[in-house]
Amino acid sequence: MRVLALGSLMHQEITVSMVEEILEHYVHPEPDQLAPERIVTTVAEAYGVRPDALCGRRRTHSVVQPRQIAMYLLRQFTELSLAEVGALFGGRDHTTVIYACEKVAERLNIDPVFSDKLNGLISTLEA
């Protein structure tokens, strides 16, 4: 309504740039602080591995757990599909992402130390 009214008052054709200019005072989009790259980098730093190692093919314990956590956080804090998350991690299948999310959720329920560490990661991401 505001756009139509201002367009009419100013005797101007309504354009995309005009709408953006008028509505920027009413819409405050939040910056995308939880971009996938940020999540992967934060998890990698917390576990002392390189971000590219999380996306690689290695399956050592030092890489598997942080990779699973990163997959879990990507599913929780982004709108990426299972296939998109898998693609970020070296083309892994969607079932691998499901398994990772289930493992992390299961461990959250039984390991308070793990839960505290994951909550710390979440706090870091949200800061």
Question: What is the arithmetic mean of pLDDT over 70-98?
Answer: 92
pLDDT at 22: 73
| CA nearest to 114, candidates 72, 59, 86 | 72
pLDDT at 75: 92
Distance CA 42, CA 59 (A): 20
Question: What is the arithmetic mean of pLDDT over 81-101?
Answer: 92
pLDDT at 72: 95
pLDDT band at residue 26, thresholds of 50, 70 and 90? Answer: low
| CA nearest to 73, candidates 19, 23, 120 | 120
Kindly tell me if the per-residue pLDDT of 117 is higher than 70: yes
CATH code assigned to 36-126? 1.10.1750.10
pLDDT at 123: 87
Least confident range from 11-20, 22-31, 44-53, 58-67: namely 22-31
| CA nearest to 35, candidates 95, 84, 94, 78 | 78
Classified as helix, coil or strand, 28 is coil
Residue extents of the structural domains in the chain? 1-30, 36-126
Average pLDDT, the chain: 86
Torsion of CA 113, 115, 117, 118, to 10 degrees: 160
